[in-house]
Amino acid sequence: MKNLPTLVIAATAMVASAIPASSEVIMGFSTGRDYLQTGKVMVEFRGGDLFVSFRDGNAILASCPHPVPFIITPNIGCPIGTTGFIADGDFDGDGIRDDLSFYSISQVIPAILVEPFRPDLCQLISAPPSPLPRPLGPFVDRGAIIFFNILTSAVYQYNVSQYEFSRNYAPGPAGRKQMDEEIVFGSYLFTFPRLGNPVAPVALPVTYSPIPEGLDLAQRLQSDPFRFTSGVFDGNGNYLMDHRLTTEIVWTGNEVSNTSTATDVMRISIYDENEEEVLFPPSGEDIVDPITGEVILAGELSAPSLIIPSPLDQSYFLPPLLTGLENAETPENVFGQQAYFRLRFQRFRGTNGITYDSSTRLFSFKILFVDSYQGFRISAFPTGQPDSTTRGTGDFDKDGQTNIEEYALGSDPDDASSMYAIPVATTDADGLVSFSMNKRPYGAAKYQFQVSTNGGGYKVIGTNDSVWEVTQDDDAAYVIRTRQAADAASFAALPKIIETVLFN
């Protein structure tokens, strides 16, 4: 039996030499994985797939409604008319047969290497050792028989060959484990039916190379795992962000061992809470840095994503007021809204002039837009003030209440006459004593009480306090209550507010 590497090289050389310059023969081998980060070291696998596509030939569509069941002559809405008749096949690849339909086609490039309509002869015959089944199938046929140009006296039949295969992996640890075990790096060899002699296979190899993968705590020896390393996540898996601030997004895991500047591209975008509409960058508008006034991306070049300058970069500065959610008159409406930040890693790496590794990785986190003290500070004080007076622990208006306390409890830190109310003890029907304070809507801060008993020193109340229990700590309020009946006059309480710093 002929040595496999020699067979692959010979087959590739033969195919390349047989293809004229006007042909279009391409095979894509793509693995896709979707990761969602929900904490500093918590990453969810949201599913993945293996997708193989082969196409020999092509048809270039022109402007016109497609498909239609009748001939359309040239007109304003369909300038060249319906020039192509689809006799057989799924021409547009939507899974619906297009037999006996008409399309407006400007050019047809016929298949020159692989026979159409024989998905039974398409298969993976060799791959690196793994549990991945082989031969692998079934492939789906997307080929078509096209008659072109039917609006002229010279009508020719053209065949376009197209095959697809997909294998899906379920979300969660089990799906990730299966994909890790089945799809391993190395050389994969596929065969397709030869044009005019289907039983003589055309062999096409493709090399699958290392690529960044999301952090997996179950893999103790995982090398160069990808994760976002900046920012603060709350207890619900949200990445806290204030749209008024410049946010530096920092990540790791795209290293020289798995990333190439020649074949890989990284793009970023922000989607709405349903992950459907792109909020940033806004399409068709100039993207302007509100600090420098410089145009970051011209409107006519806007796209659903921004390209990171180098795939080896590991940070991006997201300018303020560019989330796609802002309303200039009511910017506070952004607080509490959610969105998704997505970094898309896309590869297009050729094994030869025909086959390519076109794998994709999606790395995302869910954003919760919050009203942070850092963002509040920008507009709360006159410009040019010393940092020591405007920081959270300062007292800008010298009223005895810190800036962070006034921010958290709703008074104005720039007005000495505006002060929050000191908490007052209340007693319920069972004699239990409580202190409560309302929280700033979507404020980024930690609320606690410090309590004095019988005139003694103030002690911060934790979750395991022997006298007090925390009965409410949600978005609306923070409440503590004695575990047993007590005399309300024995206690005095002051708020203790800790600023949540969004950048770390």
User: What pLDDT, on a 0 to 100 scale, did the predictor assign at position 123?
Assistant: 93
User: What pLDDT, on a 0 to 100 scale, did the predictor assign at position 300?
Assistant: 47
How many domains does the chain fold into?
Answer: 3
User: What pLDDT, on a 0 to 100 scale, did the predictor assign at position 96?
Assistant: 76
Domain that residue 381 falls in: 376-409
Q: Determine the Cα angle at 448 with ends 445 and 454, to 5°.
A: 155
Considering all CA atoms of the chain, what is the largest pairwise distance in Å, rounded to the nearest integer? 105
* 3 state DSSP class of 331: helix
Let me know if residue 197 belongs to a domain.
Answer: no
| DSSP classification of residue 286 | -
Let me know if residue 118 belongs to a domain.
Answer: no
Give the span between the Cα atoms of 233 and 371, in whole angstroms. Answer: 15
Let me know if residue 224 belongs to a domain.
Answer: yes
Q: 305 with 394, same domain? A: no
Q: 230 with 246, same domain? A: yes
Let me know if residue 235 belongs to a domain.
Answer: yes
Give the span between the Cα atoms of 306 and 217, in whole angstroms. Answer: 30
Give the span between the Cα atoms of 163 and 165, in whole angstroms. Answer: 7
Let me know if residue 161 belongs to a domain.
Answer: no
User: What pLDDT, on a 0 to 100 scale, did the predictor assign at position 330?
Assistant: 54
Q: 236 with 318, same domain? A: yes
Let me know if residue 45 belongs to a domain.
Answer: no
Q: Determine the Cα angle at 472 with ends 467 and 477, to 5°.
A: 120
User: What pLDDT, on a 0 to 100 scale, did the predictor assign at position 326?
Assistant: 59
Q: 260 with 320, same domain? A: yes
Give the span between the Cα atoms of 387 and 129, in whole angstroms. Answer: 61
pLDDT, mean of each 10-residue run, the chain (504 residues) = 34 39 80 97 96 92 84 89 86 75 90 93 94 89 90 90 94 96 96 94 96 88 87 95 92 96 94 86 58 52 74 91 57 83 96 94 96 92 92 94 96 94 95 96 95 96 94 95 96 96 82
Q: 441 with 360, same domain? A: no
Tell me which of 343, 370, 397 is where a domain ends. Answer: 370
Pairing mode, strands 355-357 and 433-438: unpaired
Q: 221 with 256, same domain? A: yes
User: What pLDDT, on a 0 to 100 scale, did the predictor assign at position 452?
Assistant: 97
Let me know if residue 380 belongs to a domain.
Answer: yes
Model pTM? Answer: 0.85
Q: 482 with 359, same domain? A: no
User: What pLDDT, on a 0 to 100 scale, did the predictor assign at position 224?
Assistant: 81
Q: 221 with 333, same domain? A: yes
